[in-house]
Structure 1
């Protein structure tokens, strides 16, 4: 089965950058403990201090779908949403296997 790659671009209002960063770190730590999560990384933009990209690797789309039902994700999203400057952009990709 092919891994599912999820990238989310999160743009927060500048005054909430530290709070948002802490919430994203908490989310990554808790998500990496989930069954089916192979990796969950956070990348702050070097050009825009209030922009973060998360890169998630899941064993399957089913594992990623279960992630959306976790209490920690629901709680963190509820705390993060008021800090956003724009709606988070989420994109899903499959992985190309190389030789």
Structure 2
């Protein structure tokens, strides 16, 4: 469970800092602190498409998506996210994904 989650102005300040720093440890800290806000954005159909413009660090910070996946689930599930799948599974996943609306 998260120890603290920023809200309001403190959350907006953290997001501003995220977009203007290259310090990986600071990025990881602020992303953790804004995790709940980010989840609300991702789960809002009207705002989810903007997530990478609001939080571009997902594009350039290695391990950030996996770290968020760990916060959502647990270490065991996170480890499985990065496992290499057999080719037969990959084809099935792609086929199923194409059927999603």
Do the structures match in fold with TM over 0.5? no
Pair member with larger Rg = 2
The structure in which a higher percent of residues are helix is: 2
Q: TM-score normalized by structure 1?
A: 0.32
Greater relative CO, 1 or 2 (CA 8 Å, sep 6+): 1
The structure in which a higher percent of residues are strand is: 1
